[in-house]
Structure 1
Amino acid sequence: MIEILTNRLMIVPCSLDIAKSLVFHRKELDKRSPIEIPKSWPSSYVRGFLPFYIESLEKKEKESECGLWMIIMYEDKKIIGDILMQGNPSKEGKIHLCYHVEDKTLDETIAYEAVDAFIDWLTYQMSVKKVVMECEMNETHSIRLFEKLGFICKEKEGQFLMWEIQKDE
């Protein structure tokens, strides 16, 4: 299994078993998991994505290899969020990501650490050259994070901002 490790975090893909347990056996998963799973995780966006994710993992589609990743606070053994890849990188090396951190009061450096490590992994392991992420105009945490990571706001559509970063080869 792939693991992306930082000083404080472990970022791992969500397995088929965990995805199914989140949907069908949440109470049992909460009891048996050695890692604490917050009641509010996964986010509503990810919950809506889980049936598609489960189906694609069951079919062993290539696209599912990198879909949903869990961000785990290593020392606390607690899931604190997720990163969602929307498909595999395009032929040009472009990928769309979204992230969610459970507790907005967590140190902002945690989200930075997770997303930065994940983008580094994508750049070196999957030849990603451009990462695209979106947020709403009122999401100041995300805007600060994207700016800190070096993303540039490329487009505004209504209340949504599209950010991208170009990675050097």
Structure 2
Amino acid sequence: MIEILTNRLMIVPCSLDIAKSLIFHRKELEKRSPIGIPASWPSSIVKGFLPYYIEELETDKKDNDFGFWLIILYEEKKIIGDLVMEGRPIKDGTVSLDYHLDISKEKTTDETIAYEAIDALIDWLTYQKSVKKIVMECRRDQEQVIHLLNRLGFICQSKEGSFLKWEMQKRDNL
């Protein structure tokens, strides 16, 4: 199983067993898991994504590395969020990425953890031959997310209504 380690985080793909347990056996998973699971996690967006994710893993039987990843605060052994790749890279090598954090009200902590997690996953993605471009979206009023995406090296490519679409191209020399 793939594990991405940073100074504070462990980022791992969500297994089929954990995904099923989140839906069908949540209380049992919370009791038995050595990793703390916050009551408010996963987000409603991820909860809606889980049945699709489970179906994909059951029918495709491929690795779950292009899907739903858990962000674990290593020292506290606690899930603090997730990263979601909406499927495998499409024909042109594009991967759509989203993230959700459930850690604190303190904005600076959120941003540094988000930066560390997304940067680590982007680093892993740059070594995947099928990935050529990473795409993320946010609302125009999400100043903190806009600042984060700029720091990570994303470039705003389009504005559609109240949404901004950001892209990062993989350099050919990797």
Report the TM-score, using the length of structure 1 for normalisation: 0.94
Q: For 1:72-129, what per-residue CA distance to the aligned partner results, in whole angstroms no more than 9, with x for missing partners?
A: 1111101111110111112332111111111352342111010011011011134422
1:2 counterpart SS class: coil
Q: How many residues align?
A: 169
How many angstroms apart in 2 are the aligned matches of 1:107 and 1:58? 33
How many angstroms apart in 1 are the aligned matches of 2:165 and 2:61? 28
Structure 1 unaligned spans of 5+:
none
| Worse-matched range after superposition: 87-96 or 2-11 | 87-96
How many angstroms apart in 2 are the aligned matches of 1:76 and 1:43? 20
1:87 counterpart SS class: coil
Q: Which residue of 1 aligns with 2:13?
A: 13
How many angstroms apart in 1 are the aligned matches of 2:118 and 2:149? 9
Does the 8 Å contact 1:63/1:87 carry over to 2? no
Does the 8 Å contact 1:20/1:54 carry over to 2? yes
* C-alpha RMSD over aligned residues: 1.5
Shift of 1:138: 1.7
- Between the two proteins, what is the percent identity of the paired residues? 67
Q: For 1:18-45, what per-residue CA distance to the aligned partner results, in whole angstroms no more than 9, with x for missing partners?
A: 1011101111111111001111110100
Does the 8 Å contact 1:155/1:161 carry over to 2? yes
Report the TM-score, using the length of structure 2 for normalisation: 0.91
Whether 1:143 aligns to 2:146 is: yes
Shift of 1:141: 2.1
Q: Which residue of 2 aligns with 1:66?
A: 66
Structure 2 unaligned spans of 5+:
none
Counterpart amino acid of residue 40 in structure 1: S
Does the 8 Å contact 2:15/2:64 carry over to 1? no
How many angstroms apart in 2 are the aligned matches of 1:140 and 1:29? 36
Does the 8 Å contact 2:101/2:110 carry over to 1? no
Does the 8 Å contact 1:63/1:88 carry over to 2? no
Q: Which residue of 1 aligns with 2:131?
A: 128
How many angstroms apart in 1 are the aligned matches of 2:164 and 2:87? 20
Shift of 1:137: 1.3
